[in-house]
């Protein structure tokens, strides 16, 4: 079947990650050279600045289309106080809660059935150097805005900081449908004129709210025509603090 053929390119990054991990997984006694390799990697790793852009899951975190936020999403199943061995909890929340990524199959049945879920996303796309840009506060992310930002070719990851951050929308429990995000012409511009593979926005969706725009933007970004050669994913609702900046993830 074509499935394994289509998936093959995805196995390469995974193999690279495993090769790195295998430094720490030598069989038998650990040799001096294993130790040197791991300390060298550790030193390189320590030099990188790692920034976790995830929002904390709290009951007041807004949820798409809801007045009530995330609500009581965590339930303690066993409790030390009540004499159990450990505290042990259950989560019940949507896979699109807070800071999350959308998979290629999110708005595309074919890709969904082919298994393009979040597990299929490339970890090297999800982590790495990222450009943070401020967008004009009086506009959505349109083609005109994208043109004016002048994001150079070669930039792979961009976090768009918008009016949503000024309005502190991620800190308001009630969902606000007037959030700033991509319009379909903005998404089209990004696909045609940039090398961006990871798009981050500062509220719960990458696309503006009207239903036809919501569909078009997701289809343009998640299932571009040359999929899987060109393959975008995006993290919604990142919360970024400083000026226009270059953050480096490991
Ligand atoms: C275990 O859960 C209880 C609530 O039943 C909580 O008060 C306590 O702090 C928890 N203990 C730990 C170690 O997390
Ligand atoms: C989980 O949350 C959903 C949505 O609020 C609800 O419909 C469902 O009953 C919940 N499931 C459990 C096991 O609590
Ligand atoms: C972005 O689009 C939404 C939905 O159409 C609208 O409510 C909002 O006012 C727009 N935001 C800006 C900054 O123009
Ligand atoms: C779904 O993805 C496939 C593969 O990229 C593409 O050919 C098709 O046009 C997409 N369908 C929609 C509705 O976007």
Residue ID of nearest Cα to ligand 4 atom 12: 108
Q: How confident is the model at residue 127 (pLDDT cuts 50, 70, 90)?
A: confident
* Cα gap 169→61, rounded to integer Å: 10
- Hey, which CATH number is domain 97-237, 1.10.287.1770, 3.90.1170.50, 3.50.30.50, 3.40.50.2300? 3.50.30.50
Q: pLDDT digits over 128-166, tens only? A: 888 889 999 999 999 999 999 999 999 988 999 999 999
Phi, psi of 37 (to 5 degrees): -60, -45
Ligand 1 binding pocket includes 76 (Cβ within 6 Å):
yes
Q: Where are the domains of the chain?
A: 97-237
* Cα gap 44→28, rounded to integer Å: 26
> How far is the centre of ligand 1, averaged over its atoms, from the C-alpha of 56 (Å)?
19
Q: pLDDT digits over 191-230, tens only? A: 899 988 888 899 999 999 999 999 999 988 887 666 666 5
Which atom of ligand 4 lies at the shortest distance from residue 227's CA?
5
């Amino acid at each position: 079947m074509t499935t394994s053929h289509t998936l093959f390119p995805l196995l390469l990054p995974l193999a690279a990650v495993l090769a790195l991990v295998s430094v720490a997984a030598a069989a038998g006694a650990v040799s001096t050279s294993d130790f040197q390799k791991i300390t060298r990697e550790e030193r390189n790793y320590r030099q990188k600045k790692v920034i976790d852009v995830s929002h904390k899951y709290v009951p007041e975190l807004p949820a798409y289309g809801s007045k009530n936020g995330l609500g009581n999403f965590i339930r303690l199943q066993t409790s030390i106080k009540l004499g159990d061995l450990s505290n042990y909890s259950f989560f019940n929340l949507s896979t699109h809660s807070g800071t999350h990524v959308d998979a290629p199959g999110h708005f595309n049945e074919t890709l969904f059935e082919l298994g393009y879920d979040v597990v299929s996303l490339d970890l090297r796309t999800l982590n790495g150097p990222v450009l943070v840009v401020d967008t004009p506060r009086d506009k959505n992310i349109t083609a005109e805005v994208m043109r004016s930002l002048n994001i150079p070719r070669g930039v792979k990851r961009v976090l768009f900081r918008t009016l949503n951050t000024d309005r502190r929308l991620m800190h308001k429990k009630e969902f606000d449908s007037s959030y700033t995000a991509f319009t379909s012409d903005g998404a089209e511009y990004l696909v045609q004129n940039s090398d961006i593979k990871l798009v981050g926005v500062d509220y719960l969706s990458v696309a503006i709210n009207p239903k036809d725009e919501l569909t078009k933007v997701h289809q343009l970004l998640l299932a571009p025509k040359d999929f899987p050669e060109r393959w975008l994913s995006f993290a919604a609702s990142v919360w970024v603090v400083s000026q226009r900046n270059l953050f480096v993830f490991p």
